[in-house]
Amino acid sequence: MELKYEFYIGAEPEQVWKTLVSPEGTRSTFFGSILKSDLTPGASFEYVGPGEDGDETVHVYGTILEAEPGKVLSYREHPGPSYRENHAELESRVTFRLDKVGGCTKLTLVNDEWSPGNPALEHTEGHWWMILSNIKTYTETGKTLDFGW
């Protein structure tokens, strides 16, 4: 199964990159979580924020596959330990690609290489729409969307 999304954002690739990796950007667009990593291939990463285990809940963790500022961020991810007992066995690959198109950035997200029977696939499809819409809105306006939570 492959989830693929394409968004056009009225900003330069460097601005979209900042939204994808900076604490301010991820906190605003990834449901209050920040990305903790040095973003070098092979390095570990975590999206950490408010959740079942308090303010430092690990929502997703894994390994950076590729990180080229303003161009691509790719990682292999697992759900956080509080979500599934077998979290280490459940994985998928996430790749964000940024391409300059005229005066905007085309953001392509591909979420693929799902482990067999990964239960996260069911709700991930809907969550990506919210995250990507928030990335677009935040990058263009500095504001976030209100999903009523």
Strands (E), 18-138: 34-36, 44-51, 54-68, 72-79, 92-101, 104-112
pTM for this model (two decimals): 0.94
Q: Domains of the chain: which residue ranges?
A: 3-141
Identity at 34, one-letter amino acid code: I
What pLDDT score was predicted for residue 69? 97
Contact 26, 33 (CB under 8 A): yes
Distance CA 128, CA 135 (A): 10
CATH of 3-141, one of 3.30.530.20, 3.50.50.60, 3.30.1050.10, 3.30.565.10: 3.30.530.20
Inter-residue contact 89 to 79 (CB < 8 Å): no
Per-residue pLDDT at 87: 94
Separation of alpha carbons 41 and 136, rounded Å: 26
Going residue by residue through the chain, which has 149 residues, state the pLDDT in tens, using 9 for 90 and above: 899 999 999 999 999 999 999 999 999 999 899 999 999 999 999 999 999 888 999 999 999 999 999 999 999 999 999 888 999 999 999 999 999 999 999 999 999 999 998 998 888 988 999 999 999 999 999 999 988 86
Amino acid at 118: N
pLDDT at residue 149, rounded to an integer: 67
